[in-house]
A and B are shown apart, each in its own frame.
Chain A
Amino acid sequence: MILRPRLEEIKTIGYYLGRIIVCLGLTFLMPVALGLALKEISPTLDFVVGGAVTLISGLALVFLCRTEKDLNWMQGMIVVSLSWAAAMVFSAVPLYLSGHYKFYLDACFETMSGFTTTGLTLVQDLDHLSYTHNLWRHLGPFIGGQGIAIIALSLFVKGSSGAFRMYVGEGRDERLVPNVINTARFIWLISIVYLILGTIILGVVGISIGLKPLNAFFHGACIFMAGFDTAGFAPNSSNILYYHSLIFEIVTMTFMVLGALNFNLHYQVWIGNRKEMFKNIETKTFLISVLLIFFITAAGLSQLGVYPQALVLFRKGFFQLLSGHTTTGYMTIYAKQFITEWGNLALLGIICSMALGGCICSTAGGIKMLRVGIIFKALMQDIKRIILPDRAIVVQKFHHIKEVFLEDKLVRSALMVTVCYFVLYGAGTLVGTAYGYPFLDSLFESTSAAANVGFSCGITDASMPAGLKLTYIIQMWAGRLEFMSIFTLIGAAVAAVKGK
């Protein structure tokens, strides 16, 4: 029998959701400060309005739903999925007020794309967007990459079991240190240290390639936030192509890779365990996967003679491939060139890289390297079982922070999420094809949205059908949260309607 949620349960959800919304509302202070500093008055007003709406809504929820109760598993998952939806709606207010988005849905698309570290964009006339709005576009990935609930965990929630449930609900199940609050704080510490270093490095590179100092450091901060958080937003319409610089591309690639690595791995290096980098199943799988898929992509590009020199092929092909594999979505070519020049084989390589994605417990999307590694190990185990005598006991192990025995439970979980991703990729392709777009284009764009990559082959545009925009929003949301919280939300909605 399905039970309808009780008022007390709804109040608990409302209370924690309210606290997260309040926390989000406070982040509006950053663009307000920048807007005032740069005398961008109209954009500042957009953020005052957006911030006030967010804080009023959050405080009203806290006021109306005050409770002392902790979250259970279901409530934790629902709070997480609803907080991402709420973040999308509230953060879209200042963007829509900027006049750079045709519809409110487009602004919502942009914020969901940002928070989920996807990077698909529907902004109009980006080159004339204010610094204030641009900062907000790039703060989205920085907040979402670490996790919206994680901000609340670091600041508001005291060490409760509900905190761990929200942490898991955001698609993370690894703790760096035993306490989940300290884990959340460490993730922020790593990110802020990298942000400062990244901004300085990219700022200096920016000045050396001819950017004005203010722009160099502003672009540096934006590119770092969207690069390390594997989002792929840029403060200009040409993306990374704007800079016309090899050194800028190399630095950006470094940050993309750092962002796609497991936070646990960063922690191990931080505490001096550098060997983990070379022993970990995820880094090994990532390296093999990048090399194999680059081979496919390069074969495709070379077959069609897309790039006249091997070095040029490497620079263009490898950047796009790494950007896809880390699920960043930075581009040094134009979106249409994927379709008009790259050909099916190279495109297939990029689609594969996007689908597989980065490491778990990172800011990257996609199926993730740990799952790919586990599935591969399980396959090897089964092959060994067939080859070896019946009496032989086949034990498979892998190294991920510590030595782990490959248990059926792990394989089942990895396969289940992988299947969900494939269904999500397929569903978006189906919708795209139903709207009349070619199959390969639809597959490319759908995989890019669901794996939170942000590459576009030209479908994502303000003029695309609203139904397709909604489909991609759902794909980005489900892909980032890795399904469980979304399934729980759907289950709760069904219970609310059909329950007794």
Chain B
Amino acid sequence: MKRKIIFLAFGFIFLACWRPCCAETISSTELINNARQYDGKPVVYSGEVIGDIMRRGGFVWINVNDGPNAIGIWAAGDLAKEIARTGNYKTLGDTVEVEGVFHRSCLEHGGDLDIHASSLRKVKSGAVVEEKINPAKKKLAAVLLGVLCLLLILMRLRRR
């Protein structure tokens, strides 16, 4: 009997831990196109944090982009502490998985479509993007600047 109880207890703990990390994420397109269906329901959404983390009192707004769209996430300031990088030209932002309640038209935030996060987990760290400069582009720029200078000299000579 004792063994069974221990077995069951481990089973419950496993299930409790397993569910959140394997819960299916919903895409932004699915959420936007079927907003009424998901309104007020808990969802799991994942994507890259882009732009700035905007602090508002003890909370933050972060915009999480999963490819086609970015959705605003309203989260407690503590939840966003883990985010080290946000996406822009020179940086690939951290990829996060957000669990929270989806709002088609959030009453707290003037009708915005958003997710109020209850948990936020970094699933992939972002990185600094090395800028690649195409050598052909460099050469083309040099040639074109040369042609431009020649043309300017030619025009000046003609004016004289």
Contact = CB atoms under 8 A, between A and B. Distances in A.
Interface of A: 40-43, 45-46, 48-49, 52-53, 55-56, 59-60, 62-63, 97, 127-131, 209-212, 215, 236-238, 241-244, 246, 306-309, 311-313, 315-316, 332-334, 336-337, 340-341
Contacts of A340: 32-35
**Interface of B, helix, strand, loop or mixed by DSSP:** mixed
B117 interface: no
**Interface of A, helix, strand, loop or mixed by DSSP:** helix
Contacts of B114: 244
Nearest to A133: B89
Interface in B61-83: 61, 63, 65, 69-70, 72, 74
B107 A341 contact: no
Contacts of B140: 49
A223 B4 CA distance: 64
B23 interface: no
B137 interface: yes
Contact of A210 (B52, B87, B104, B151): B52
Given A127-B50, A209-B54, A334 B69 contact: yes
B62 to A, nearest CB: 10
Contact of B70 (A42, A211, A242): A242
A7 B55 CA distance: 64
Nearest to A210: B54
A49 B72 contact: no
B60 to A, nearest CB: 7
Given A56-B151, A59-B152, A97-B137, A244 B50 contact: no
Interface of B: 32-36, 50-56, 60-61, 63, 65, 69-70, 72, 74, 87-90, 92, 104-105, 107, 109-114, 129, 131-134, 137-138, 140-141, 144-145, 147-148, 151-152, 154-155, 158
Contact of B35 (A59, A63, A341): A341
A307 to B, nearest CB: 5
Contacts of B63: 236, 238, 242
Contacts of B54: 209-211, 243-244
Contacts of A212: 52
A330 to B, nearest CB: 14
Given A42-B137, A127-B51, A210-B53, 19 more contacts: A42-B134, A49-B141, A59-B151, A127-B70, A209-B54, A210-B52, A236-B50, A236-B51, A237-B65, A241-B72, A241-B112, A242-B70, A242-B72, A244-B72, A308-B107, A313-B111, A334-B113, A337-B32, A341-B104
B48 to A, nearest CB: 8
The 5 closest A-B pairs by CB, nearest first: A210-B54, A52-B144, A312-B111, A127-B50, A130-B89
A237 B112 contact: no
Contact of A41 (B69, B70, B113, B131): B131
Contacts of B34: 340
A337 B35 contact: yes
A61 B32 CA distance: 50
Contacts of B111: 307, 309, 312-313, 315-316
A246 B110 contact: yes
A312 B155 contact: no
Given A40-B131, A210-B61, A341-B36, A312 B89 contact: no
Nearest to B53: A210
23 contacts: A40-B131, A42-B132, A45-B138, A48-B141, A49-B144, A52-B141, A52-B145, A59-B151, A62-B155, A127-B65, A128-B87, A128-B89, A210-B52, A210-B60, A236-B63, A237-B70, A238-B63, A242-B63, A307-B111, A334-B69, A334-B113, A336-B33, A337-B35
Nearest to B68: A237
Contacts of A60: 151
Contact of B61 (A53, A244, A341): A244
Given A127-B88, A244-B54, A333-B113, A45 B35 contact: no
A474 to B, nearest CB: 27
Contacts of A209: 54, 56
Contacts of B51: 127, 215, 236, 242
A46 B131 CA distance: 13
B52 A63 contact: no
A307 B105 CA distance: 7
Contacts of A45: 133-134, 137-138, 141
A340 B89 CA distance: 33
Contact of B133 (A41, A238, A334): A41
Nearest to B56: A210
A53 B144 contact: yes
A128 B87 CA distance: 7
B70 A40 contact: no
A308 B69 CA distance: 24
Contact of A316 (B65, B105, B141, B158): B105
A236 B104 CA distance: 21
A210 B32 contact: no
B130 to A, nearest CB: 11
Contacts of B110: 246, 311-312, 315-316
